[in-house]
A and B are shown apart, each in its own frame.
Chain A
Amino acid sequence: MYAFEIERPSTIADAVKALKDEDAQALGGGQTLIPTLKARLAMPSALVSLSGIGEMQGVCIGDDGAVCVGGATNHATVAKETASSFPGLSGLAGNIGDPAVRNRGTVGGSLANNDPSACYPAAALGSGATIITNAREIAADDYFQGMFETALDEGEVITEVRFPVPEKSHYEKFVQPASRFALVGVFVAKYADGVRVAVTGASENGVFRWSEAEAALSTDFSASALDGLSVSADGMIADLHGSSEYRAHLVKVMTGRAVTAAS
């Protein structure tokens, strides 16, 4: 790693101030950023650790019934705290990486990084979450803008994520066994006004909604409703773990399994 300073602010305001420095970089749980720094793929002059900010920690239920997760809340806490209120989200958070990674990695860090194979983007997009920053509120549909690209401005911090709670939901992940990332992961959520289906791991543009499946499942919430649908391999990721055709195939299979398992 190149040398850098670490600041540990205790308030959002102090973190935002520290991030105004041009070469400063926010540090969430570090489970992606620290390996990136070790590989010398990033060279910040300063890291601003968000882990000591109390107002960005924890899970609660908002007045509208949505699950509100502080941006610096780790995956293990989300898995534990949402087990009864939002089992689909709990299951997703409890299956990221491994137990030690889940004790450090954070929801805000995952969404800010927007890795095309990460799990959390599927939960946020699949539940129509609101990403709340120090400056504004961003709808998930506007937030994800391609592989590793988001609507966040330089120095903007995700302070909270609000997940509307569906009637039924499930996240089904086909695990890439070495990394535990999703080779393909599908989050299905059934709301009173329709079904949302968000796919991660598959597209070269990052997480996306499979609108044909959403329409079919909104009429008939069963795996067989997907029978007539197919997913194009155009724009799907191809690498040594799987071809684009394989990933396209998995999208439909994982969606069906998610629907069947939804609770």
Chain B
Amino acid sequence: MASVTMTVNGKSVSGNVEGRTLLSDFLRNDLQLTGTHIGCDTSQCGACVVHVDGEAVKSCTMFAVEADGTDVATIEGQANADGSLNVIQQAFQDHHGLQCGFCTPGMVMSAAALLKDNPTPTEGEIREYLEGNICRCTGYHNIVKAIMAASGQDVSAVAAE
């Protein structure tokens, strides 16, 4: 067992983990932050995307030990300080960017990473950036629309409802 300490959503947390403990399992099982979802567990689907030191990573494909000393952000830390939805989350609700919601935490975290680097992405750039996030409900159109809207852009030209 190894002792790890990291900052998660602004709070310092510690725990004892096995070498093989994944960051996703540490977040979900040790910290009870179950908003980070495990879909495929093979780094394909992106439901487990979190930010480590500001960069989007698949938390099912990183060991908790490797996150020792880092600053981790999960979906639980995304809402505004008063508990209201942040701009991206609100846009997902407004544009119906989800159906079952399973992929949504990863979608929102990926969207946040994209908009940090590219504040006004084109529709094509959004679709390309979401390559590693799989949604089996929506067909992506409304997710793309939500991210366009979250970046303050006109969404009327985004294809098909």
B46 interfacial contact with A, CB 8 Å = yes
Residues of chain B with a CB closer than 8 A to A178's CB: 44
Partner of B20, one of A1, A99, A103: A1
> Is the CB–CB distance between A104 and B58 below 8 Å?
yes
Say whether, besides A8-B65, A30-B62, A97 and B55 are in contact (CB < 8 Å). no
> Is the CB–CB distance between A35 and B43 below 8 Å?
yes
Query: By the criterion of a CB under 8 Å from any partner CB, how many residues of chain B are at the interface?
Result: 29
Complex interface residues of chain B between 103 and 123 (CB less than 8 A to chain A): 110, 113-114
> Is the CB–CB distance between A99 and B19 below 8 Å?
no
Say whether, besides A100-B56, A103-B56, A51 and B66 are in contact (CB < 8 Å). yes
CB nearest to A98 among chain B residues = B132
> Is the CB–CB distance between B20 and A100 below 8 Å?
no
B41 interfacial contact with A, CB 8 Å = yes
Say whether, besides A3-B19, A99-B131, A180-B131, A76 and B66 are in contact (CB < 8 Å). no
A101 interfacial contact with B, CB 8 Å = yes
A-facing mask of B55-68, CB < 8 A → 1, else 0? Answer: 11110011101101
Q: How large is the interface on A (under 10, 10 to 19, 20 to 34, 35 or more residues)?
A: 20 to 34
Residues of chain A with a CB closer than 8 A to B20's CB: 1-4, 37
A38 interfacial contact with B, CB 8 Å = yes
B-facing mask of A13-52, CB < 8 A → 1, else 0? Answer: 0000000000000000011001101100000001101010
> Is the CB–CB distance between A30 and B61 below 8 Å?
yes
Q: Which A residues have a C-beta under 8 Å from some C-beta of B? A: 1-6, 8, 30-31, 34-35, 37-38, 46-47, 49, 51, 76, 97-101, 103-104, 178, 180
A-B contact pairs, 15 of them (CB 8 A): A3-B20, A30-B62, A34-B61, A47-B63, A51-B66, A76-B55, A98-B131, A99-B113, A99-B131, A100-B57, A100-B132, A103-B56, A104-B58, A104-B61, A180-B131
